[in-house]
Amino acid sequence: MLEASYILEGLWITLQMWGGAFVLSVLLAIPVAMLRGSRNPFAKFIGALWAWIARGIPPIAWLIIIFFGLSLGIISEVPLLAAIVGLGIVNSAYIGDSIRSGVDSVHRGQWEGAASVALSKPQALFRVVLPQAVPVMIASTAAYSITLLKNTAIASIIGANEMVFYAYNAVQVGADPIIAFLTIGIVYLLFTVPVGMFARWIDSRVKRGSGKVAY
């Protein structure tokens, strides 16, 4: 039987992994989005190359490469940290697309208006463009975070003690596999469903308000 204490312990590890990978993916996605939106061909190539590699290699392969294949000291010895790094790299490509789409959704006239009042490009980005782009970014980023949460389940392959790890071990000592993994599935639903509803709500708000934005 899968005990409640194991579920809670696995859930805590899963949430740490989810939160850590999400923060890392955002930190990596910001420069990736800036590179991909650059007018410099080399910078644009570097951003596209990062996104291509991050998305092209399956998440489970990233975890194996980082945990077993790289000599990175503590990262190659702590499954939780290796999972955060691997999932953060993968998700950074998708969050980067979300940031870029949000910035691109703002009409070019906003940049021109900011330039007309002597704002530099960084000032225009943070004072004028990003405040309008954030609602679009939130909707897609929330959706990507659901995929990230579900991907934490594969971290059991490198020994991370998340929920699937405990469910698998419980099955090995006689627990009913249907009950064990169904329980874990329900726990995942308790998190993914609210986040999905929030993403859809934000998306509907953005679509309703898009026609009211004056350019």
Question: Residues with Cβ < 8 Å from 62, sequence gap 6 or more?
Answer: 86, 87, 89, 90
pLDDT for the residue numbered 2: 63
Question: Residues with Cβ < 8 Å from 113, sequence gap 6 or more?
Answer: 128
**Burial class of 171 by CB neighbour count within 10 A (0 to 12, 13 to 18, 19+):** middle
Terminal C-alpha separation, the chain:
60
pLDDT (tens place) for every residue of the chain, 215 residues total? 567 777 888 899 999 999 999 999 999 998 888 888 778 899 899 999 999 999 999 999 999 888 887 655 555 568 888 899 999 999 999 998 888 888 887 777 777 777 777 777 777 777 777 777 777 788 788 888 999 999 999 998 888 888 888 888 888 888 788 888 898 999 999 998 988 888 788 777 766 665 554 44
Nearest to 92 by CA among 53, 42, 40, 45: 53
Asked whether the beta carbons of 170 and 1 are under 8 A apart, the reply is: yes
Euclidean distance between CA atoms 42 and 124, whole angstroms: 24
pLDDT for the residue numbered 70: 66
pLDDT for the residue numbered 53: 93
Single-letter code of the amino acid located at 114: A
pLDDT for the residue numbered 97: 87
**Burial class of 113 by CB neighbour count within 10 A (0 to 12, 13 to 18, 19+):** middle
Instruction: Give the length of the chain.
Output: 215
How far is C-alpha 117 from the chain's CA centre? 36
pLDDT for the residue numbered 54: 92
Euclidean distance between CA atoms 69 and 12, whole angstroms: 27
